[in-house]
């Protein structure tokens, strides 16, 4: 059986095991066109054992039309790759599966100009695979009909190592992990941190990532960390703050840092502009606190609440360690396998009703 062409820009190392499992189940070939890397995680190159090739975006259409593949999967990244692959797939009658991440329409001129084409692709795709319920609702409202969910996941076994170690008592320890772009909400978090007044009591906020400049009292910058060091930081923090805000260019599609921290039994403070909250993994007052995006007073209030309620932090963290277990690489692979079955090109033609499109 011919392989499935899986087209993407980069493959972060975190997704290697998921792609290897997808290859084992469905036989894929990766086509990597490079470009800006927005993952925030170190690029890992192609996963060992998975066939791959480096291509330019201009070459993607020719590759799709080559007759060497039984279907093509492609995400919404790649301004040339996406339309070229879709048009080529239509021309040679190859099933086209869209991997969709958007749950709000970016307001840039380029995105608005491309919206009519995206609406056509949503309606025409053999299947649309989404990050979660929030993306599914977005694409369904724009005409998509065959929608499957591949839940965003990390390697839970790796990120859970050492999670049973008890945290030392003391002032609140807050952690932020993210790139320094406006949409990640660092400026709002620092504003909220200052308003909380927690630094006066010894509380700390640690910023992990490419950060510079002066910081207010109680804030520490540590730069980028490797996976093992980052896991240890999650394990020693009481709270992970995910203060993302929507911008014209970007709305957080998910926020895999939440999955990582939940595996370490870390409580989550997030905004409603984070895909993991909109998509149903992070639930307010169950496994996280969810506050309005861009509101430093709401962040400050939530931080003060968490600082004074260790039992609340423990309850949120315990629920998080249970809830994140449903978000696995195998579940992610199940979503793509169901999409291939929906398109009639799966290795196993039997449609699993539990994964039927919505």
pLDDT of residue 356: 45
- Nearest one of 127, 321, 134, 171 to 235, comparing CA atoms: 321
Return the percent helix, strand and coil in the chain, to nearest 5: 40, 15, 40
Question: Band of the pLDDT at 37, cuts 50, 70, 90?
Answer: low
Dump pLDDT digits (tens) for 25-36. 999 999 999 976
DSSP 236-250: H-SEEEE-----SS-
pLDDT of residue 358: 44
- Segment 80-107 shows an average pLDDT of 96
CA distance 220 to 313: 22
Q: What are phi and psi of 31, to 5 degrees?
A: -120, 115
Within the chain, residue ranges assigned H as helices are 16-26, 57-64, 81-92, 109-124, 133-140, 156-159, 186-196, 227-236, 256-263, 275-278, 296-307, 310-323, 329-342
Instruction: Output 107-115 pairs: Cβ under 8 A, ≥24 positions apart.
Output: 107/248, 108/248, 108/249, 110/79, 114/79
Lateral strand order in the sheet of 28-32: 52-54, 28-32, 4-8, 71-75, 96-100, 127-130, 147-149
Indicate the angle between helix axes 227-236 and 256-263, nearest 10 degrees. Answer: 60
- Nearest one of 356, 304, 312 to 335, comparing CA atoms: 356
Dump pLDDT digits (tens) for 298-352. 999 999 999 999 999 999 999 999 999 999 999 999 999 999 999 999 987 554 4
Residue 273 near residue 243, CB atoms below 8 Å: no
The domain ranges of the chain are 4-151+328-355, 156-325
Q: What are phi and psi of 187, to 5 degrees?
A: -60, -40
Pick 4-151+328-355's CATH classification: 3.40.50.620, 3.40.50.10740, 3.40.50.720, 3.40.50.11930. Answer: 3.40.50.11930
Question: Band of the pLDDT at 44, cuts 50, 70, 90?
Answer: low
- Segment 196-220 shows an average pLDDT of 92
141 pLDDT above the threshold of 80:
yes
Among 4-18, 207-221, 225-239, the range scoring the smallest mean pLDDT is: 207-221
Q: How many CB atoms lie within 10 A of CB 181?
A: 16
pLDDT of residue 322: 98
Q: Which two tokens stand for residue 254?
A: 């998910």
Q: Which two tokens stand for residue 228?
A: 């093992």
> Strand pairing of 267-271 and 239-242?
parallel
- Higher pLDDT: 118 or 214? It is 118
Spatial CB neighbours of 352, under 8 Å, sequence gap ≥ 6:
334, 338, 341
What is residue 294's three-state secondary structure? coil
CA distance 201 to 36: 41
4-151+328-355 and 156-325, same CATH topology: yes
Residue 219 near residue 190, CB atoms below 8 Å: yes
Dump pLDDT digits (tens) for 104-138. 999 999 888 999 999 999 999 999 999 999 999 99
- Nearest one of 122, 114, 62 to 91, comparing CA atoms: 62
Q: pTM of the predicted model, to two decimals? A: 0.93
CA distance 238 to 263: 13
Pick 156-325's CATH classification: 3.40.50.720, 3.40.50.2000, 3.20.20.150, 3.20.20.70. Answer: 3.40.50.2000
């Amino acid at each position: 059986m011919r392989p499935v062409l899986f087209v993407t820009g980069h493959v972060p190392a975190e997704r290697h095991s998921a792609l290897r499992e997808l290859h084992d189940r469905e036989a894929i070939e990766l086509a990597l066109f490079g470009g800006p890397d927005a993952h925030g995680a170190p690029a890992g190159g192609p996963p060992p054992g998975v066939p791959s090739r480096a291509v330019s975006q201009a070459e993607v259409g020719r590759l799709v039309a080559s007759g060497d593949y039984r279907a093509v999967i492609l995400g919404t990244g790649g301004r040339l790759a996406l339309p070229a692959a879709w048009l080529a797939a239509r021309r040679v009658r190859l099933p086209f599966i869209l991997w969709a991440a958007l749950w709000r329409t970016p307001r840039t001129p380029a995105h608005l100009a491309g919206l009519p084409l995206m609406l056509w692709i949503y309606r025409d795709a053999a299947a649309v695979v989404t990050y979660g319920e929030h993306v599914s609702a977005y694409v369904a409202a724009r005409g998509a009909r065959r929608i499957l969910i591949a839940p965003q996941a990390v390697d839970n076994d790796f990120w859970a190592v050492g999670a049973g170690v008890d945290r030392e008592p003391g002032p609140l320890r807050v952690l932020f992990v993210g790139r320094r772009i406006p949409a990640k909400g660092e400026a709002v978090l620092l504003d909220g941190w200052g308003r909380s007044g927690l630094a006066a009591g010894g509380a700390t906020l640690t910023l992990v990532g490419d950060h510079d400049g002066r910081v207010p009292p109680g804030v520490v910058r540590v730069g980028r960390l490797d996976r093992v060091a980052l896991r240890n930081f999650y394990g020693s923090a009481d709270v992970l703050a995910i203060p993302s805000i929507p911008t014209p260019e970007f709305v957080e599609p998910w926020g895999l840092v939440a999955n990582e921290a939940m595996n370490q039994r870390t409580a989550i403070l997030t905004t409603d502009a984070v895909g993991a909250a909109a998509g149903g993994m992070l639930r307010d007052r169950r496994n996280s606190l969810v506050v309005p995006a861009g509101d430093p007073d709401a962040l400050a209030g939530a931080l003060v609440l968490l600082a004074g309620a260790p039992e609340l932090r423990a309850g949120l963290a315990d629920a998080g360690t249970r809830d994140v277990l449903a978000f696995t690489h195998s579940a992610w692979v199940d979503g793509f396998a169901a999409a291939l079955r929906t398109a009639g090109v799966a290795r196993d033609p039997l449609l699993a009703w539990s994964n039927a499109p919505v």
